[in-house]
Chains A and B, each alone.
Chain A
Amino acid sequence: MLRVGLKRILGLGQELPLPQARQAPSLSRLYHERVVDHYNHPRNVGSFDKNDPTVGTGLVGAPACGDVMKLQIKVDEDSGKIVDACFKTFGCGSAIASSSVATEWVKGKQMEEVVSIKNTEIAKHLSLPPVKLHCSMLAEDAIKAAVKDYHAKRAKAGASSGADIPPAENVADA
């Protein structure tokens, strides 16, 4: 329904020739333009092989909307830097936009850095209304879960080779 609604609103927006007409109250009242942009042109949609040892997968859901969000990171094993990220989200526009933003933000950063990304930053960036804050929360949790999954995999692999793995701190509980 949201999809149809958004498309209808956007469709209307395109029919109106003047730029200021696009700022029609119905559109600006519903979603910030960044949400609409990420919804229509989501960045980094896709999947990595979840069995790849350099990949961390975060799978989270919000029972309120029945949303499900998968965020994956690809990590450079030597530097601990996130070299790539992707997501797949089935949910509302805000959830899709939040996860899309999250993948953009984690790319090129260290894992310790990304676990400190707060949902409030994502929400502020997208100007999410209070009722949609949990969507950004979901993205924050997905990042943490992905990092945690990566560490867990490494620990498992390391257990056999005897490597020293730092404990995954600041990471969401499963």
Chain B
Amino acid sequence: MSNRKLLISSLNLLRRRSRPISTLPTNRTPKSDPPIILDHSSRQSAHSRVPKKPIHGSKLDCAVFGRDFSSTSSGLGNCWSCGAIAASKPFLFCDICRSVQPFDQSVDYFQIFGLERAFAIDDTGMESKYKDWQKKLHPDLVHTKSEKEKEYAAEQSARVIDAYRTLRSPLLRAIYLMQLEGARVDEEQTVSDPELLAEIMEIREAVEEAANPPALQQIQFQVKGSLDHWSKSFENAFKKRKFEEAITSIQRMTYYSRINEEIMRKL
């Protein structure tokens, strides 16, 4: 599904690039836009968000809607530079005038990578998608442009890095999903589950005493097994919206991830 979207959106991109410049940017209406990319839900919410007049909110909003192109807007906003209508979400970069767009709080990490918001993700296309974004957003590419756009590029590029790092790690991805759900993970709470702690203590001592790489690898094999187990447990709990269970799984994942990091340091 997401792959198809990606393919379509890139085809769409190609089509747009081959258009003569003269038809751009403001003569376009939503009807002439290829009706792709958006899924149904975001299209609906997009329409409800069509601003009748420029939004007076944060500076960011003003930057997006400051120029009044909203009458033809698809609801996703317009390019701050050329005013073209955002073709899709996430709109981090205008393909028409090639300018980096301001930070948009409503875009989450999953959208940046065209993924569904879920714990189980297909990360095969992530690296190339990451590189694609950096080819457009990297601060080095805008060094001749305005201070404003340099700021956007710094922000957007950093955000894409953060998104990539977060989504690729099962633990960080799990914590991020919980954040998106608004469930607070109280990380400062002391855990006193004696069985878990005794096990962790034992493994950490074993890591400390492990004499050679094979011994470490053997421990790592076990630790990774536990990590997988609790990842699956998180996935199930999260799907059922059992957030307490999900948090318990995150805590377990944190412990096993730390041990794995320690092993990697020693290997």
Residues on A lying within 8 angstroms of B by beta carbon are 1, 59-68, 70, 88, 90, 133-134, 137-138, 141, 145, 172-174
Question: Does the CB pair B197–A137 fall under 8 Å?
Answer: no
Which residues on the B side are within 8 Å of A61 (C-beta)?
Answer: 190-193, 196-197, 200, 255
* Nearest CB in chain A to that of B253: its residue: A66
Cα distance A174–B197 in the bound complex, in angstroms: 12
Which residues on the A side are within 8 Å of B198 (C-beta)?
Answer: 59
Question: Does the CB pair A59–B251 fall under 8 Å?
Answer: no
Cα distance A75–B149 in the bound complex, in angstroms: 66
CB interface residues, B 206-252, toward A, < 8 Å: 208, 250-251
Which residues on the B side are within 8 Å of A88 (C-beta)?
Answer: 201, 205
A60-B197, A70-B201 given. 15 additional CB < 8 A pairs?
A: A1-B265, A59-B192, A59-B194, A60-B191, A60-B192, A61-B190, A61-B197, A62-B190, A66-B258, A88-B201, A90-B200, A90-B204, A134-B188, A137-B190, A141-B190
Question: Does the CB pair B254–A66 fall under 8 Å?
Answer: yes
Question: Does the CB pair B255–A66 fall under 8 Å?
Answer: yes
Q: Mark B64-101, 1 if CB is under 8 A from A, else 0.
A: 00000000000000000000000000000000000000
Residues on B lying within 8 angstroms of A by beta carbon are 187-194, 196-198, 200-201, 204-205, 208, 250-251, 254-255, 257-259, 262, 265
Cα distance A67–B201 in the bound complex, in angstroms: 10
Which residues on the A side are within 8 Å of B193 (C-beta)?
Answer: 61
**26 A-B pairs in the complex with CB atoms less than 8 angstroms apart:** A1-B265, A59-B197, A59-B198, A59-B201, A60-B190, A60-B192, A61-B191, A61-B192, A61-B196, A61-B197, A61-B255, A62-B191, A63-B254, A64-B188, A64-B254, A68-B200, A68-B201, A68-B255, A70-B201, A88-B201, A88-B205, A137-B190, A172-B190, A172-B192, A173-B192, A174-B194
Question: Does the CB pair A65–B258 fall under 8 Å?
Answer: yes
Question: Does the CB pair A138–B190 fall under 8 Å?
Answer: yes
Partner of B191, one of A1, A63, A133: A63
Cα distance A141–B201 in the bound complex, in angstroms: 17
Cα distance A137–B208 in the bound complex, in angstroms: 25
* Nearest-Cβ distance from residue A48 to partner chain B, whole angstroms: 14
Question: Does the CB pair B201–A174 fall under 8 Å?
Answer: no
Which residues on the B side are within 8 Å of A68 (C-beta)?
Answer: 197, 200-201, 204, 255
Which residues on the B side are within 8 Å of A63 (C-beta)?
Answer: 187, 189, 191, 250-251, 254-255
User: Given the interface contacts A63-B254, A68-B200, does A137 sit within 8 Å of B188 by beta carbon?
Assistant: yes
Which residues on the A side are within 8 Å of B192 (C-beta)?
Answer: 59-61, 141, 145, 172-174
* Nearest-Cβ distance from residue B21 to partner chain A, whole angstroms: 50
Which residues on the A side are within 8 Å of B189 (C-beta)?
Answer: 62-63
* Nearest-Cβ distance from residue A67 to partner chain B, whole angstroms: 8
Task: Select the residue from A62, A133, A173 with max chain B CB neighbours within 10 A.
Answer: A62
* Nearest CB in chain B to that of A138: its residue: B190
Cα distance A174–B194 in the bound complex, in angstroms: 9
Cα distance A64–B201 in the bound complex, in angstroms: 16
* Nearest-Cβ distance from residue A111 to partner chain B, whole angstroms: 18
Which residues on the A side are within 8 Å of B194 (C-beta)?
Answer: 59, 174
